[in-house]
Amino acid sequence: MNTEIFGVALMFLLTVLLAIPLGRYMGKVYSGHKTWLDGLLNPLDKLFFKAGGIKPEKEMNWKQHLVALLTINFVWFLFSMLVLMMQGSLPLNPDANPSMTADLAFNTSVSFISNTNLQHYSGESGVSYLGQLILMLFQFISAAAGMAACVVVFTAMKEKTTDKLGNFYNFFIKSLTRILLPISIVVAVILAFNGTPMTFKGKDQFISMQGDTVNVSRGPAAAMVAIKQLGTNGGGFFGANSAHPLENPSYFTNIIEDVCIILIPIAMIFTLGYIIRRKRFAWMVFGIMTIGFLLFVIPSIYLEMKGNPAITQMGIAQNLGSMEGKEVRFGSAASAYWGITTTVTSNGSVNAMHDSFTPLTGMFCLLGMMVNSFYGGVGVGFLNFYIFIIIAVFISGLMVGRTPEFMGKKIEAKEMKIAAIIALLHPFLILVGTALASYLFSHNPTAYASWLNNPGNHGFSEMLYEYTSSSANNGSGFEGLGDNTQWWNISCGIIMLLARFLPIIGPVAIAGILANKKYVPETAGTLKTDTGTFGIMIFAVIFIIAALSFFPALSLGPIAEYFGLHQ
Amino acid sequence: MSTTSNKLFESKLVKEALKQSFSKLNPRIMFRNPVMFTVEIGTAVMLGVCIWILCGETKQGSLIYNLIVTGVLFITLLFANFAEAIAEARGKAQADSLRKTREETPAKWIQSVGEMFVNEIKIVSSSQLKKGDVFLCETGDTIPMDGEIIEGIATIDESAITGESAPVIRESGGDKSSVTGGTKVLSDHIKVKVTTEPGESFLDKMIALVEGASRQKTPNEIALTILLAGFTLVFIIVCVTLKPFGDYAKTPITIAAFISLFVCLIPTTIGGLLSAIGIAGMDRALRANVITKSGKAVETAGDLDTLLLDKTGTITIGNRKATHFYPANGIDEKNFTEACVLSSLADETPEGKSIIELANLNKNSFNVDGARFIEFTAETRSSGIDMKGGIRIRKGAFDSIRNIVAKAGNPFPEETAEQVKVISSMGGTPLVVSRNEAVLGVIELQDIIKPGIQERFERLRKMGVKTVMVTGDNPLTAKFIAEKAGVDDFIAEAKPEDKMNYIKQEQQGGKLVAMMGDGTNDAPALAQADVGVAMNSGTAAAKEAGNMVDLDNDPTKLIEIVEIGKQLLMTRGTLTTFSIANDVAKYFAIVPALFIASMPSLQGMNIMHLHSPESAILSAVIFNAIIIPLLIPLALRGVAYKPIGASALLRRNLLIYGLGGVIIPFIGIKLIDMLVSIWF
């Protein structure tokens, strides 16, 4: 087999092999079962609980969970605004980076609490080390908040009638101390030993062969890189993210970092199987997500390795594939693979410029974010998937002549209303955002000329990508876009906020309402939800909703570009 | 009922429905269906565009093209209205044929003076009777109103309601005291008390339901409407945002193209057929001679988990029948048979008759002059005959005959005692016969299980419905019959409160339970059950408590009701899937057509090779319109239910209506395009 493809296959296999035991471990953590880290970490948890005045055994209903979630996030949002707007005069700023403007600080704060980590600034010159540390803290917090919300839904899916769904702070702190922190430490150490800097010193200097003095930015990068990969955050230390040679030095670190992108999202599925004690259901979910993922990955790798037809026409050989915007140390296959893993999971870290992918690979990246639930972000990926399950259950229940029920709970008008709104939200934000930007640009092209480096179809893709990335809480960008302007900072900020919290509130509310309903035992007439047939149904629902909502937009962007290239 | 035809489109109905399709265009009526309402708005906008072009606008394409688009949209609306109207018309026709039976009939009203009924009879019109009034019906009279017999017994011809020509007996007291308006008294006379206010009988309620006037949307229909509204909103967003996208791509998009795209994308197929499906469901129930009090009850029927069925009349034919004669040792079989017949000559019970039938001897060949017949009593638990010559023949339960025999000092033959045990264990009833206090042998009576009932239970089991037999038999007999008939559970030696307790217990486990009943003592259980089907012959209390009334008094009707309920949901689900799946092809037709002028490279997306942008858009809207009438028969008849398990059923329907829904429009649009391209 081709070494490049072998490397990619190995990465995926390794991820799944690690995710299965990790998922089980996470299930034990959330269920309060014994794990081998208990002895070491129980005192730490107790300290947090005591300091926060939290009673972990006090169970909450779904509304209390949401209040807890929103409160945590709001407090941290205010704190972040404060630090970023004053970082110029705060300590830990050896490179004397300036304070952020209000709109940029708003965008950045929202971006980090919403687990998006869309960066309209460049890390080296835009944030102080204190700012970086705060942002790193947020990468933990936002990931843990998403995971905790997801565990609330898992708890609600158990077969019983209850409004007691565990304690949010307990799930939240356990996500931090038992899962994110230990794995991050391991990953950070590996990265640090492989060349990623971990220091509080300012810029380093060296004199190049030509005799010029070159300043090299550095800082506490290894720690931040670990959590940005693990928590599907994607907010890099350096502007170039994981394409930067200090952030991702070698093919080996690339494997580690790429595994980390989808490790917890996949493990979360097995956690579901453990908590609700339905392994078959978990494998069905995993199967559907994997099929969707592979449908994006395989053609993308193929297209990137095949190269750009326009360059082939010029008579230039492309043995390495399309290498524009890619790092030679990773190659085209691993770059394409990263491109898809980072978009399907709402991670958003990049090791190649997505702007330079061939048109259809760009479309698959967009689709990954439009679906946003083939694995998806930590915790929130499954929450998005949950909405599709509810819709699929409803339609297929009708198709077999039975009032739809999921996990023994009947799905009625109220749940459908919430599901419809949440399913609608993502296309709404993306399409309306892009439409407004298109309108502004097309009616005043000179005033907004700085927005787009490439007009035409590609420019359209850039705008579409920016909003898709914001709405998917992904954070990667089609870098041709001049995005640090008030319009982009504020519009993307609003979209990130809505797209983060409504899709958490919706599924938690549905799960909470369902948990409160009477449990209907399974009979021979009940539609089993852990079968391949039902899996196909979910897949069809996802495909239809994504295809129907985004088909016209995609055909004006990447599809038109593709046909233009292949004429 | 037998008069109504099963043809889907009778010319009379079609004419009425066509008229209705126009009057339903009233926006206030249209508003109730959000999907079709948006189409109506689109049509109005297109009309505006046509007028605009007439006034000199040039950028919106030719007038002919815009007129055709407007026309097609208008026809789409009419088709959707027609679907609803034809379903209503069918329901109404069905109801009318029922209503005919209760046209104004003269009633013999018994006037009450003060507290007393004096026998003064006044002839009034049936419509003047109020609840609580008492009327008299004599031989040949048509019963003017639903009511309960308070005095007398009569044979009644109910064929006008049930289509069944055999007359039935109704009498005061007991569970068969209810009479229905429109039926005819064949013999005797009865006094009947009116139980409903005029205009509020079950039939009136049902008529109102199928006519749509009081039809409330069921919870399931509401949830589906929400989902469809969600899809409609997505497509509003898609179409509205396409305008700035087009601006960016420097492609002007005509209003006709926008509206066509929008109408094609929104789920008009299911939106147009949704209410027709609901009405047709109730119409199907009515055709099965079941009157439902609400649409919800039909839907709930599709979800049933447990069915409570009375043994007698439902599972077994109703009466025990003699199946074997077992003479004791040393007794001649012919001799024994004769004794059996003699003992049963005066026995008018079905059991007694069946003994004579089984013996197959000429009744008149027996000389019973001067004989004395001994009636069955609860104390002796035996009956028989004392012949003139002093021969005493008795037949009765095992222990009563044993007592008689023992009193006379005769032994009870062991092999007969053994046979009695065998018969009991097989679910049968043994009747021992003695002559002059000596045992002659034993007759076996068996419950006859209705032919074909096992298959029906098997079908129910595959649907996931548990069947429970309710019987007054002892547990041993009950168990045997339960096994033989293939029911899943049984309640033996059942008292009325046992039914109630069983229902409550099942419901506590989250199950939906249905039962059928006729007696007043069934009323609490009928009310407790999720689906309570009262027999039309039952008491007014039973009918009031249940949420359906079965005009045929057929206890196996529940099985049909379950299937009707399932069909109703399935038809909705499959047509929704079909409708949404259609959009894939419509996109491939319209999106390239919109942008091909400014981006010729998008020709690559025109995978159907449609002739021109205009022909592509027209083909898509035309397909969108004609698919509605093509699916009306399916909506009215319902998708066939096959008890093959939920997953297999999903697979099947997903393949037919999902995959089919993706493929068919590709073919349909291409064919229409080939036709349209002659002009465009």
User: Per-residue pLDDT tens for B492-514?
Assistant: 888 777 888 898 888 887 788 89
From chain B, the residues in CB contact with A528 under 8 A are 646-647
Instruction: Give the chain B residue whose CA is nearest to the CA of A437.
Output: B244
C-beta of residue B241 within 8 angstroms of C-beta of residue A435: yes
Q: Which residue has the higher pLDDT, B60 or B40?
A: B40
From chain A, the residues in CB contact with B464 under 8 A are 523-526
C-beta of residue A236 within 8 angstroms of C-beta of residue A256: no
Instruction: Give the chain B residue whose CA is nearest to the CA of A403.
Output: B303
C-beta of residue A481 within 8 angstroms of C-beta of residue A488: yes
From chain A, the residues in CB contact with B231 under 8 A are 548
Residue A372: the pLDDT is 92
DSSP string, B441-452: EEEEEEEEEPTT
Q: What are phi and psi of A248, to 5 degrees?
A: -145, 80
**Chain A contact present for B505, CB below 8 A:** no
Report CB contact under 8 Å: B248, A438: yes
Report CB contact under 8 Å: A533, B650: yes
Taking only the tens place, the pLDDT of each residue in B510-554 is 788 898 877 777 788 888 888 888 887 777 777 778 888 888 777
Burial class (CB in 10 A: 0-12, 13-18, 19+), A243: buried
What CA–CA distances, in Å, run from A68 to A105, A468, B624? Answer: 24, 28, 49
Burial class (CB in 10 A: 0-12, 13-18, 19+), B525: buried
Task: Please give the interface size between A and B, counted as residue pairs whose CB atoms are below 8 Å apart.
Answer: 214
Residue B4: the pLDDT is 43
What's the mean pLDDT when you consider all of chain B? 83
**Chain A contact present for B663, CB below 8 A:** no
From chain B, the residues in CB contact with A413 under 8 A are 219, 222-223, 226
Interface test with chain B among A393, A402, A550, by most B beta carbons within 10 Å: A402
Q: Is B310 designated active site?
A: yes
Q: What distance in Å separates the CA atoms of residue B136 and residue A244, rounded to the nearest whole number?
A: 100
Q: Which residue bears the tokens 């043995």?
A: A319
Report CB contact under 8 Å: B219, A413: yes
SS3 B529: coil
Q: What is the DSSP letter of B45?
A: H
Q: What distance in Å separates the CA atoms of residue A265 and residue A260, rounded to the nearest whole number?
A: 9
Report CB contact under 8 Å: A563, B591: no
Percent of chain B with pLDDT over 90: 18
User: Looking at B310, B518, B522, B673, which residue is catalytic?
Assistant: B310
Total number of residues shown for chain B: 680
Q: What distance in Å separates the CA atoms of residue A418 and residue A506, rounded to the nearest whole number?
A: 6
CA proximity to B341, closest of B377, B384, B372: B384
What CA–CA distances, in Å, run from B97 to B90, B124, B142, B298? Answer: 11, 24, 16, 21
> What is the C-alpha R_g of chain B?
34
Q: What distance in Å separates the CA atoms of residue A509 and residue A153, rounded to the nearest whole number?
A: 9
**Chain B: closest CA distance from residue A527 (Å):** 5
Provide mean pLDDT across the span B468-492: 84
> Is B210 a residue whose pLDDT tops 90?
no
Q: Say how many Å lie between the first and final Cα of chain A, rounded.
A: 32
Both tokens of B596, joined, read 């091909």
Q: What distance in Å separates the CA atoms of residue B573 and residue B1, rounded to the nearest whole number?
A: 30
Residue A275: the pLDDT is 94
Report CB contact under 8 Å: A559, B602: yes
Interface test with chain A among B221, B222, B225, B245, by most A beta carbons within 10 Å: B245
From chain B, the residues in CB contact with A560 under 8 A are 595, 599, 601-602
**Chain A: closest CA distance from residue B405 (Å):** 54
Q: What are phi and psi of B312, to 5 degrees?
A: -70, 125
CA proximity to B88, closest of B261, B250, B211: B211
In the structure, what pLDDT confidence band is assigned to residue B213 with cuts at 50, 70 and 90?
A: very low
Q: What distance in Å separates the CA atoms of residue B444 and residue B355, rounded to the nearest whole number?
A: 9
Taking only the tens place, the pLDDT of each residue in B78-127 is 999 999 888 888 877 777 776 665 566 777 877 766 555 556 778 887 77
Q: What distance in Å separates the CA atoms of residue A511 and residue A155, rounded to the nearest whole number?
A: 9
C-beta of residue A372 within 8 angstroms of C-beta of residue A366: no
* Angle subtended by helix axes B219-248 and B255-265, to nearest 10: 150
CA A255 to chain centre: 18
Give the mean pLDDT per block of 10 residues along chain A (567 residues).
Answer: 86 95 95 87 88 87 93 90 85 80 87 84 79 85 94 89 89 92 94 87 81 82 89 83 89 93 95 93 95 95 90 84 88 93 92 91 94 92 95 89 85 90 94 93 82 84 92 86 82 92 95 89 80 92 89 91 85
Q: Which B residues in the span 557-576 are in contact with A, Cβ-Cβ below 8 Å?
A: 565-570, 572-574, 576
Residue B3: the pLDDT is 39
Instruction: Give the chain A residue whose CA is nearest to the CA of B465.
Output: A525
CA A252 to chain centre: 22
The ipTM (two decimal places) reads 0.87
C-beta of residue B538 within 8 angstroms of C-beta of residue B523: no
Residue B99: the pLDDT is 66
Residue B242: the pLDDT is 92
**Chain A: closest CA distance from residue B645 (Å):** 6
* Angle subtended by helix axes A331-344 and A359-371, to nearest 10: 30
Residue B137: the pLDDT is 86
Instruction: Provide the H-helix boundaries in A307-330.
Output: 309-313
C-beta of residue A169 within 8 angstroms of C-beta of residue A30: no
Q: What distance in Å separates the CA atoms of residue B443 and residue B397, rounded to the nearest whole number?
A: 10
SS3 A205: strand
Total number of residues shown for chain A: 567
From chain B, the residues in CB contact with A422 under 8 A are none
Provide mean pLDDT across the span B467-477: 82
Q: Which residue bears the tokens 């339901």?
A: B209
Report CB contact under 8 Å: A401, B583: no
From chain B, the residues in CB contact with A531 under 8 A are 647
Q: What distance in Å separates the CA atoms of residue A502 and residue A483, rounded to the nearest whole number?
A: 25
Burial class (CB in 10 A: 0-12, 13-18, 19+), A146: buried
Q: What distance in Å separates the CA atoms of residue A422 and residue A417, rounded to the nearest whole number?
A: 9
Percent of chain B with pLDDT over 70: 91
Task: State the sign of the Cα–Cα–Cα–Cα dihedral B552, B558, B564, B568.
Answer: positive
From chain A, the residues in CB contact with B305 under 8 A are 523, 525
CB count in 10 Å sphere of residue A552: 24
**Chain B: closest CA distance from residue A16 (Å):** 28
Q: Which residue bears the tokens 């055999």?
A: B166
Taking only the tens place, the pLDDT of each residue in B223-271 is 888 888 888 899 999 999 999 998 888 888 899 999 999 999 999 999 8
CA torsion, ordered A118, A122, A127, A129, to nearest 10 deg: 100
In the structure, what pLDDT confidence band is assigned to residue B348 with cuts at 50, 70 and 90?
A: confident
Q: What distance in Å separates the CA atoms of residue A308 and residue A313, rounded to the nearest whole number?
A: 9
In b/e form, how buried is each residue of A368-407, taking b as 16+ CB within 10 angstroms? Answer: bbbbbbbbbbbbbbbbbbbbbbbbbbbbbbbbbbbbbbbb
**Chain B: closest CA distance from residue A422 (Å):** 10
> Between vectors from CA B286 to CA B284 and to CA B291, what angle results, nearest 5°?
135
Taking only the tens place, the pLDDT of each residue in B626-667 is 999 999 999 988 888 887 878 888 999 999 999 999 999 999
Report CB contact under 8 Å: A398, B509: no
